[in-house]
Every structure is written in structure tokens, then in C-alpha cells.
Amino acid sequence: MTSVRTPGWADVTAAAQLLDGIAEVTPLAHSRWLSEVAGTEVLLKCENLQRTGSFKLRGAYTRIARLTADERANGVVAASAGNHAQGVALAARQLDTRATIFMPEGAALPKVQATQGYGADIELVGVDVSESIAAAVEFAERTGAVLIHPFDHPDVIAGQGTVGAEILTQLPDVRTVLVPIGGGGLTAGVALLREVRPDVRVVGVQAAAVDAYPPSLAAGHPVRVDLGPTMADGIAVAEPGTVPFGIIHELVDEVVTVGEDAMSQALIGLLERAKLLVEPSGAAGVAALLDRPGAFEGPIVPVLSGGNIDALVLLEVIRHGLKAAGRFLTIRVHLTDRPGELMRLLTDLSSMQVNILNVLHDRASTALGVGEVEVALQVATRGPDHAEHVLRRLDQLGHAPRLSS
């Protein structure tokens, strides 16, 4: 069995030279909002502003650039629902080789179009990425194209590690780096900075519904888990990669998990307070900071790993985040079915400065008594304190409100 080389800091510095003029040196943006939350300085590493909208170009270009001329002549192949697909497609175009990308049949149209726009051939196969990967492996075996793995290869990890190299240059006194973690390529790459800066703490952040790393680290080897539903599709990986797992096991201080509410609230906070559009997986580090204020030594750098989010998904995530923050409520009340009752309810809400978004009037429910109607209202409030006041006041006025999901 062929052993796989483990990359080191020298590989990261070599990758940085290779990527000079190819990948952007993304900004490190100070966040007053998060600094106040954490009680220490917080700066955001904005990989959402990278070419293709995520860090993935770094690893894909490094991997393809190190192929032989004969290997590149056969083309490259990858499987991805979004960010890795775009990174491979652009890298292949830059290096004048053909790229074939297998994507799930339900992949978001903007991501499919963006990948095509970088010149890749697209094959829509399977209902999820695992089926797309199987098709990509078969294609590689049949055609001789080189499979570009999204995280389980030393060159990919070295390329992603240039994010950490830039952080050390931009903020030499950094103390903690928070990195979203799926398969582990980005986190492993960033963790290599500890070879030269062991004083810097690197923390991986994983979505709780897809937390393959905590049980794997406890077991001492990669463990496959069942994936739960999550908005963080960019880090929804069932099993850690072998190469990144070894590095993370040795160099990463801790892997923490965050829930859906925390990620959606982090996304909204970044949008409203930092004016940055970030996908849910890219906001995982900020979610950990919001969940655990005061837990990390500063200066702290959360890595915003990507900003590719479908507009329809964004609408749902914003709605989820507003609801989690108590700024969006769905209220159900029963009213007597007579003229003026609905107007009285709406007038009461208006007097409390509530913005009414939607009203559904139902007379047909079997749960209603004779002469009753149910009214479901979607309303916007100014926050959890205001929401609590609205519910309490409606109850005092005799409306007996019930919250609905």
C-alpha cells in the first residue's frame, strides 16, 4: 500500500509562491460588532471575497499545477455541488487543461452556471454528491483524467494552508483562528501554521448535524457518521479525509460544533453589521464566537470560507435567522367570527409597533368551534424583548396567542 505524504509548512510557503497572482490575498477586516461580543479584537478573514467566492481555488490550483504535462493532457475531473466545482473549473482554465465536473441533479442553477462559465464540462448525475463522486471516479478510471479531491490530498491541503500564511502576515499577533471544517482540508492547511507558530490556537468549527470530527478524534481515526439536515451544505461531509485527519489530530486544539440557529444568526449579523454576504458554512466560525463569547483568546480571526449562496436558500436562511433571534414570529389566535374582530386584533398589533407581513384567515379547521375563526399572522418585531412584550400584551387583551413554527 502506497503511503501518502503529509504536507508541512514548507509546502504551504511553496504553494503561496505558486498562487502569487492567481489567488487574491483576501482582506482581514476588523469587526467592531464581534470585538464587542468577544471582549477582544476580532478580524474577519474574507475568503468569501476570493475568486470563485471561496477558498477552494487555492487547493485546486496547487493540485493541478503540480500534475505532469501528460497528466494534464488527459484533463481533470471533480465532483461537487458548488465551491470545489468552481475552484477546479477556474484552475483548469488558468492551467490550460480540460475539466469535467460531476454535480448532483439538484445542484443550484447559479452554481452550475458559474462552473460552466469557467469553461468546465458539466455532468449532472445522482441525487447527492456521493453519487456524483462515484460517477467522477468511474470517469477518471475510464478516461485517464486525474481526480481532484476536494480535501484529501497533500497538495490541496498545502494550497488551502496559504489562508493561514496570509493571516500570519496580516496579523502577526493573532492568538486564535476559527476555521469551518467539513472534510478537513482547510482546517488542516491552516493548522500547519503551528509548525512555525505553536502559540496560535486553531479551532475547527463543524455543524452539529454533520459532526464527523468529534467522534473521529475520540476514536483516533476517521469515523463515518449519518448526515442530518443542515443549511451548511459546504461542510456537510460524512467522513473526515485521511490526510487532513492526521494533521488535525496532531495540530488542531479543539473542534467545536454549532447549531442551525447560531449559523443563521451569524449569517444575518455578518450581512447587517459587517456588510458581508457569507454562506452558512462560511459563517460557522462566527457562529462559534457568538455561542461562546469570552471562550477564545484574542486577537481572534474567524475564517469566512465562502460566500456562494443561492438567492432562494438565502431567503430561507434569513427567515430562519430572524425567527431564531425573535425578530420574526408566526402567531395563531382564535377569534369570534363577527365583523370587526380581525380589525381589533390588527389594531392592537399596530399599537405595539408590530410590522404585519402576512395574514391567513381560516374558517375550515376541524379544531374550531361553532362561530370561531383561526387567524395566522406572520409578524416582524424589533427583537426578543419586543416579541415577548407583544405576546404578553396580546394575552392581556384576551387574544390568547399561540406561537407556530
Point out the residues that are catalytic.
Answer: 56, 305
- β-strand partners of 146: 76
| Cell of residue 135, nine digits | 460517477
For residue 154, the Cα-to-chain-centroid distance in whole angstroms is 23
Those residues whose C-beta lies under 8 Å from the C-beta of residue 260, and which sit 6 or more positions away, are 207, 208, 209, 230, 231, 320, 324
Task: Report the C-alpha gap between 129 and 134 in whole angstroms.
Answer: 9
Instruction: List phi, psi (to 5°) of 232.
Output: -90, 65
Q: Are strands 76-79 and 99-103 parallel, antiparallel or unpaired?
A: parallel
Cβ atoms of 90 and 51 within 8 Å: the answer is yes
CA dihedral (121, 125, 131, 135) positive or negative: negative
Sole residue written with cell 444568526: 265
DSSP state at residue 204: E
Residue 145: DSSP 8-state: P
Q: Tell me if 80 sits within 8 A of 88, measured CB to CB.
A: yes
What whole-number distance in Å separates Cα of residue 97 and Cα of residue 155?
Answer: 18
N-terminal to C-terminal alpha carbon distance within the chain: 53
